[in-house]
Structure 1
């Protein structure tokens, strides 16, 4: 049941005590270095202020902009000679950010990932196929090292080249895979076209999903088609990468590994803690990081703490699936909308395909929202009345969910742009 029983079986009081000890030590460490040295000195902050876990609120937040402003080496807490790994963000929304790792960081990351994978039932002797990107993207390497640490036969397939992915699955009996949800949906379409039936032709039984927000309805589609149990995974490069939180077999939220991370959920506007069970922004503090520890890092990811105890027996707190990012929200006619709300509606309609896009436009100073949706090919070609009924149903259901009426356009299968990386679900053309 446990990969590391010494920490996975800790009681709540034992976890709290461990977190407080590591938090005080971490505050003392970062006080002597770069960014935090000045920040703490200016605000008269020291480890002596941390006498309970609630005292973490006395510490300042760290933001993505802080990382950008002190790029590349401003957050280092070890000499450069101790660094063995670098990951860099894409920088698509601004200055890139750099994340550094010591040898100890890489080893601990592999241990966390092995803990996650073991928890779901994967064991030495299984064949693991990693269908996500390597290189500067942390997702591929994180799962790779965790799977190898556990003793799985690991196939570093990387992203894309769908026909080869399928052939690898068939040739080597892949039964565990890591895949971005939107690519799992695309690969599903490719398998259908090729006459591949995973439940009959492949040996898949476990899938790990992450890297982008997705709905429960998408998970249901993936599980039904591939014949797998699909587990939610959460991580971000600033915290190492994947392995921050993971689902156990009960699939009742993702356990945050609280021996390595201290989690808070705050109101992104007031910055105050929200009541348990309320959705807010996840804030994380590293407790076991050598090269580049971060204090109260604002992730921008929206989730909630799951109330109650997990039947698996682990006391590590659970968070819900990500509801999106606070900076993904867009406003149309005064209504706050997240793309995942649209997905939840669409994926509940059987005739809807696996791809959609939301387009925002502005005409005569009026914002409009267009939802383009791929539908079943047979319906699109042969049954115009059915097509009209589907269009009306989608419009009705979206209006009920969003409290406004978007323009719905039904399009042929495979006609919308596709990506082998993270899906682009929102195209905002209002400033063009």
Structure 2
């Protein structure tokens, strides 16, 4: 189903003409209103008039999270504070947060793209959507909330935490769609089982999950444990918030709403643009944002773009599920390792729970990787010989997929800390 068919199915030539028109307008606006960008243009010898085609995007400067921090709090805003109606900020663990400002039009745009996204995931005006993303400075809760209301759905603004109440209200209020992080969806499923709440007692049909990388194997686990269809949604606060892209019913990549964002894939080392079909760092240019428009924002997320028309009829390019981030990518003995790769192996093998942690240490000059793997209740009662066989299978598969050896340590069921937000997957104890 479509929320805005005219925009979602626009022919590519029309869509690109709209992008160019909006890009030119935005470049002119930020050049005259944001000193940071004006200085960056001048250093590159570029003027707004130089942007004559979408290919000229490569002439423009990149923007990084550090640029936002260096201009904290409002230095990159392109409109006066009198026109900013809402502020959000990142939950970064180091340095100052990145502050995002929204005009009234920005909120309207955001609500529109989230409504489109939720419709991609099967929601409509008859849906009851339980939003279990955190509310507050984090963009997840309020972003999903406004979009669900724009769609005409009934909204349960639960926020995160308070798991028993989440489940009680999910059952009593007849929630049909769950919006939260994938790791929290697994946690809710486990808690339901412990509380004795059967799947026949809830009305969930779909889930819209994002805010952290997750694998196809985890999708299968969620769909099985909650008996729903699980969809991937993508966004980040600096670019807008949730709803920058979303999977449709085909579950074959997330449609990026290109009438508002121009995506690129670049080589994170050379910074050169890469063609469709090649994996690299995802970069976004916003072309309708008023409060905080961004040029070529480096997300640090690793993905790939495809421009082939989707079977659903939507024409907007699709991005592959994020496989990791360049800044949380582990380099162990010269090998790039993403937690999502480990997750895929564990869930592919089965017999263990989808909860794990990567512990990285350095012994002398040698990095060592230990993977804590949580056993299922059934596996925990198995004979030692069976567990030894399972350990060997996991070790061999990890070695094959990652290209490095890792120590596997089984832990008892429910001993790895559960998260009601983003799961803590990596503990890096190296002094690097």
TM-score surpassing 0.5? Answer: yes
**Partner residue, 1:400:** 400
315-324 or 185-194, which deviates more: 185-194
Distance 1:121 1:24 in 2: 35
* Aligned: 1:323 with 2:323: yes
**Partner residue, 1:357:** 357
**Partner residue, 2:133:** 132
Per the TM alignment, residue 135 of structure 1 is displaced from its structure 2 partner at its CA by 0.1
**Partner residue, 2:415:** 415
**Partner residue, 1:172:** 173
Distance 2:380 2:123 in 1: 41
**Partner residue, 2:22:** 22
Per the TM alignment, residue 270 of structure 1 is displaced from its structure 2 partner at its CA by 0.7
Per the TM alignment, residue 124 of structure 1 is displaced from its structure 2 partner at its CA by 1.2
Distance 1:181 1:410 in 2: 23
Partner of 1:238, secondary structure, is coil
Partner of 1:95, secondary structure, is coil
Q: Tell me if the contact between 1:88 and 1:96 (Cα under 8 Å) persists in the aligned partners.
A: yes
**Partner residue, 1:151:** 152
Q: Tell me if the contact between 1:77 and 1:290 (Cα under 8 Å) persists in the aligned partners.
A: yes
**Partner residue, 2:226:** 226
Deviation string 1:60-104 (CA, Å, 9 cap, x unpaired) is 101111111111111011111011111111231322111101111
Q: Tell me if the contact between 2:352 and 2:379 (Cα under 8 Å) persists in the aligned partners.
A: no
The 5-angstrom pairing of residues 270-285 of structure 1 reads 270-285=270-285
Q: Tell me if the contact between 2:186 and 2:225 (Cα under 8 Å) persists in the aligned partners.
A: no
327-336 or 265-274, which deviates more: 327-336
Per the TM alignment, residue 38 of structure 1 is displaced from its structure 2 partner at its CA by 2.1
Distance 2:307 2:75 in 1: 38
Distance 1:162 1:413 in 2: 19
**Partner residue, 2:84:** 83
**Partner residue, 2:4:** 4
258-267 or 412-421, which deviates more: 412-421
Per the TM alignment, residue 274 of structure 1 is displaced from its structure 2 partner at its CA by 1.7
Distance 2:300 2:55 in 1: 21
**Partner residue, 1:386:** 386
* Aligned: 1:425 with 2:429: no
Q: Tell me if the contact between 1:186 and 1:354 (Cα under 8 Å) persists in the aligned partners.
A: no
Deviation string 1:192-244 (CA, Å, 9 cap, x unpaired) is 2222232x221100100100001110011101111111111000001110111
**Partner residue, 1:58:** 59
Deviation string 1:322-346 (CA, Å, 9 cap, x unpaired) is 0110111112122121111111101
Distance 2:110 2:325 in 1: 24
Deviation string 1:383-414 (CA, Å, 9 cap, x unpaired) is 22211111111111101111111000011111
Distance 1:91 1:385 in 2: 44
Deviation string 1:231-276 (CA, Å, 9 cap, x unpaired) is 1100000111011101111111100000000000000001112232
1-10 or 93-102, which deviates more: 1-10
Deviation string 1:327-367 (CA, Å, 9 cap, x unpaired) is 11112122121111111101112211121000001123321
**Partner residue, 2:184:** 183
Partner of 1:32, secondary structure, is helix
Partner of 2:32, secondary structure, is coil
Distance 1:3 1:415 in 2: 43
Per the TM alignment, residue 169 of structure 1 is displaced from its structure 2 partner at its CA by 1.0
Deviation string 1:123-152 (CA, Å, 9 cap, x unpaired) is 212211001100011011111001111111
Partner of 1:115, secondary structure, is helix
Per the TM alignment, residue 296 of structure 1 is displaced from its structure 2 partner at its CA by 0.5
87-96 or 131-140, which deviates more: 87-96
Partner of 2:305, secondary structure, is coil
Q: Tell me if the contact between 2:370 and 2:406 (Cα under 8 Å) persists in the aligned partners.
A: yes
Partner of 1:347, secondary structure, is helix
Distance 1:309 1:90 in 2: 36
Give the TM-score, by structure 2 length.
0.97
* Aligned: 1:244 with 2:244: yes
Give the TM-score, by structure 1 length.
0.97
Per the TM alignment, residue 313 of structure 1 is displaced from its structure 2 partner at its CA by 1.3
Per the TM alignment, residue 2 of structure 1 is displaced from its structure 2 partner at its CA by 2.5
Distance 2:156 2:175 in 1: 9
**Partner residue, 2:339:** 339
In structure 1, the gaps of 5 or more residues are none
Closer, same or farther in 2 for the Cα pair 1:350/1:425, shift >3 Å? same
Q: Tell me if the contact between 2:3 and 2:116 (Cα under 8 Å) persists in the aligned partners.
A: yes
Per the TM alignment, residue 307 of structure 1 is displaced from its structure 2 partner at its CA by 5.0
